[in-house]
């Protein structure tokens, strides 16, 4: 089952893990069902940008891994039955930033950033909502997106 503690843990792992190859990242996230299909990503070789659907973990109906140049970029999950409310996510991740919708048909999104000083990466968790994300709104899916790390400020 995917809960806020697991999402928080995955964000922290994505920040600290120096590896960029998909199989190692998927294994580090304990996505055991998906780990069996991850080598197919590696065998395909480095493509400019690619998305591949993996076996979803328990609690999800869809699991997509995005790569760029053969390196892990993001993990996107669609929940089978939404159980995480926005206020619970805010308690675990800190205050989020409501993102502007690009089209009326697009889902509502709230972004949460995880930064660990001197870690090789940072991680953005993008939570998706079917309706405007009030405190009680249910998260229908998430994307965990990796970006460059943030160096510790001197002083």
pLDDT value at residue 70: 83
Nearest Cα neighbor of 22 from 43, 5, 7, 1 is: 43
Distances from the Cα of 53 to the Cαs of 7, 17, 139, in angstroms?
19, 22, 20
Query: How large is the average pLDDT for residues 27-39?
Result: 68
The confidence band for 78, taking pLDDT boundaries of 50, 70 and 90, is: very high
Query: How large is the average pLDDT for residues 109-124?
Result: 95
pLDDT value at residue 46: 53
Question: Do 56 and 2 form a contact (C-beta atoms < 8 A)?
Answer: no
Question: Rounded to whole angstroms, how far apart are CA atoms 19 and 72?
Answer: 9
pLDDT value at residue 143: 97
Question: Rounded to whole angstroms, how far apart are CA atoms 155 and 94?
Answer: 25
Query: How large is the average pLDDT for residues 6-20?
Result: 96
Question: How many CB atoms are closer than 10 A to CB 82?
Answer: 16
Sequence ranges of the domains in the chain = 4-148
pLDDT value at 113 more than 60: yes
Question: Whole-prediction pTM value?
Answer: 0.87
Q: What is the mean pLDDT of the chain?
A: 88
């Amino acid at each position: 089952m995917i809960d806020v503690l697991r999402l928080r843990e995955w964000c922290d792992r994505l920040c600290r893990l120096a590896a960029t190859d998909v199989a190692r990242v998927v294994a580090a996230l304990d996505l055991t069902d998906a780990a069996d299909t991850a080598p197919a990503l590696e065998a395909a070789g480095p493509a400019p940008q690619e998305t591949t659907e993996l076996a979803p973990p328990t609690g999800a109906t869809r699991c997509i891994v995005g790569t760029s140049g053969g390196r892990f970029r993001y993990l996107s999950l669609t929940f089978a039955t939404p159980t995480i409310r926005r206020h619970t996510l805010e308690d675990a991740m800190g205050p989020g930033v409501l993102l502007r919708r690009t089209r009326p048909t697009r889902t509502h999104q709230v972004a949460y950033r995880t930064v660990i000083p001197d870690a090789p990466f940072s991680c953005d968790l993008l939570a998706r909502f079917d309706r405007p994300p009030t405190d009680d709104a249910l998260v229908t899916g998430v994307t965990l997106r990796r970006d460059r790390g943030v160096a510790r400020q001197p002083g």
